[in-house]
Amino acid sequence: MPRAVREVDVPHLEQSRPVFGIERLWSAVARICPPFTVQLVVEGTATEGHIPLDRPALQRAVAEAAQVHPGVRLRREGHLGWSRWRAFGGSPPVRVVDGSRWSGRDEQGAPFLQLPLTPGGPTVEVLLVRGDVERVVFRGHHAVVDGRGLLHFAEDVFAVLRGAEPRGASLDVVDLELARSLGGKGRGREKPEWSMPTGMPHPVPRGTPMPWRRVRFEGSTRRLLPRLALAVHHASRSYTQEPLQIEVPVDLRRHLPDGVHTTANITGGARIDMPAVVDAPDPVHAFVEMLKAGAAHPDAAAPIVDTQLFRWLPTRTSVRLLRKVREKSLETGKAGTSAILSNLGRYPLERLSCARHTATSWFWVPSGGPVVPLFILVTGDGQGVELSVGMSPELATDGRLDGLVQGIVQDLNRSGEESA
């Protein structure tokens, strides 16, 4: 295994903030379902006339960007509700790993994606993956970053590589304060009652990682998210006739003042019951309206508000509770939601490029959880869409993951032709 590089000293002002409940919860989840990291993959090629990107150049850019991103230099100190995130000097390490056996289409041949990051640091790292395709992978512990936050840091790293100034992000923006400012009361304790898209779980060996598939869709992207939700519902009918619920992550950054950026995990969620969508005269329109209403509701921040109990629970207690929830869910075949569909949107590839690395595609590796029946991340680059589809291993047995993915893509092609 390649040795992690030494952290690079950078000038800094010591900064810290409290560790909140949802961050302690995600730290406990990482104990049960490692690595539970947010992982952004940028594929590319060496630009003609330039030597390929190397570790020293990438490490310098990461170090410079980290100076204005205290959120990627965090380590947890203290105990329970008194613990704090502290931004130390140094920068996320950069490692060179062998990706010659990794296709970039699934989890096979990429053991480096399974290595855990810990709250004690480093909580963020960058990988330079050598293989037939040059890849740069940004990895962050989910307790300290979400997808938008990690993407913002990655964009600044490539800005530095192009000779531009990084925009940076603040450590002062915290999820709980933002969530409470929206006025939401939270959902409270909920009983898992939603069915799983591929039917009942089947036993798998302990420690089996979340399987995932990456597929490229180059059909119509008009109303893609509601069509994707309907495609999940239609494809699931091959395995279950039970109703499904879809959860769509909601980025709360839109409530921040202009010019304020953060890498912190400030993602809420909107839940949509699919029976009401499927039975509507215009299912696509119904989904869009329900999503708008859910995203605008103060309770979109409920996942943040509801988890403050975990701030005062010892990690071992949280782990024990989560294991019980997981065991019950696998026994009953019911979960808190049937699927998570995360749309990271269209993104210009030139922002993830530099003179020595021209980006050709970008995608996310699904992060999993105690029981995530289905997790789909959507990214666009103007030429097509990347779908990263992950599933709890207990639900992917007997070819069910591949079967569901095939059904989803077929339905997207069909609905795209109908909407053309």
Computed over its alpha carbons, how large is the radius of gyration of the chain?
A: 21
Give the per-residue pLDDT at 262: 79
pLDDT tens digits, 101-155? 999 999 999 999 999 999 999 999 999 999 999 999 999 999 899 898 999 999 9
Give the per-residue pLDDT at 305: 67
Give the per-residue pLDDT at 269: 84
**Which residues pair with residue 18 across a beta bridge?**
84
Indicate if 364 and 244 belong to the same structural domain. yes
The domain in which residue 87 lies consists of 15-177
Residue 10 lies in a domain: no
| pLDDT averages per 10-residue partition of the chain, 420 residues | 34 67 89 92 82 91 95 92 88 96 97 94 96 95 91 96 91 60 60 91 92 94 95 97 94 74 78 96 96 81 73 92 92 94 92 93 90 92 92 96 97 83
> Within 10 Å of residue 345's Cβ, how many Cβ atoms?
11
Give the per-residue pLDDT at 42: 97
Give the per-residue pLDDT at 6: 31
pLDDT tens digits, 216-234? 998 888 999 999 999 999 9
Distance in Å from the first CA to the final CA of the chain: 49
Indicate if 397 and 269 belong to the same structural domain. yes
Q: What is the pTM of this model?
A: 0.91
Give the per-residue pLDDT at 52: 82
Q: Give one DSSP letter per residue of 36-59, joined into a string.
A: -EEEEEEEEEPPTTSPPP-HHHHH
Separation in Å, CA 297 to CA 131, 278, 290, 291, 420: 46, 22, 11, 10, 32
Task: Report the domain count for the chain.
Answer: 2
Domain with 414 in it: what CATH number? 3.30.559
Residue 353 lies in a domain: yes
Residues 6 or more apart whose Cβ sits within 8 Å of residue 28: 310, 315, 318, 319, 322
Domain with 77 in it: what CATH number? 3.30.559.10
Boundary-marking domain end, from 135, 150, 177: 177
Indicate if 211 and 120 belong to the same structural domain. no
Residue 4 lies in a domain: no
